[in-house]
Amino acid sequence: MKKYQLGEFEEIVMLTIGILYKEAYGVAIKKEIETRLSRDVSMGAMHTALVRLEDKGYIKSFDGEATEERAGRPRKYFQITALGKKAMTYTKETRDSLWKAVPKVVWELNGIFQ
């Protein structure tokens, strides 16, 4: 079902927006992902994912207060929409179903494919 399809990085970005809640803006999202996953994230990849998620209707953005440190420009904050919550729930349920479908013996095999 393509209706709620999320790529791995999109899922990570959406989960991080949820974690940061009202403090979810580009740089904060990037730093949180890098800290939690020990994974480098480029601002280009972050921006692309945020635009894609907003285009899909999974997140929405809004401007915060303009600050002097940002030369009067406001930060752009992100929130998960109702449709985004449905997409995340669908993704989690799909992944959980796949994990549960893997026979226990697969995890008990030692070195059979190594």
Containing 63, the helix (H) or strand (E) segment is strand 59-66
Give the integer Cα–Cα distance in Å for 49 and 43: 10
The CB density around residue 16, as the number of other CB atoms within 10 Å, is: 22
Q: Please name which of 51, 81, 79, 77 lies closest in space to residue 65, comparing C-alpha atoms.
A: 77
What's the pLDDT score for residue 110? 67
Sign, Cα dihedral of 109, 103, 95, 24: negative
**8 burial type by CB count under 10 A (0-12 exposed, 13-18 middle, 19+ buried):** exposed
Can you give the pTM of this predicted structure? 0.85
What's the pLDDT score for residue 69? 75
* pLDDT tens-place values along the chain, 114 residues long: 567 889 999 999 999 999 999 999 999 999 999 999 999 999 999 999 999 999 999 999 999 887 777 677 889 999 999 999 999 999 999 999 999 999 888 887 765 555
- Report all structural domains of the chain as residue ranges with CATH numbers, in order of start: 8-108 (1.10.10.10)
**How does DSSP classify residue 3?**
T
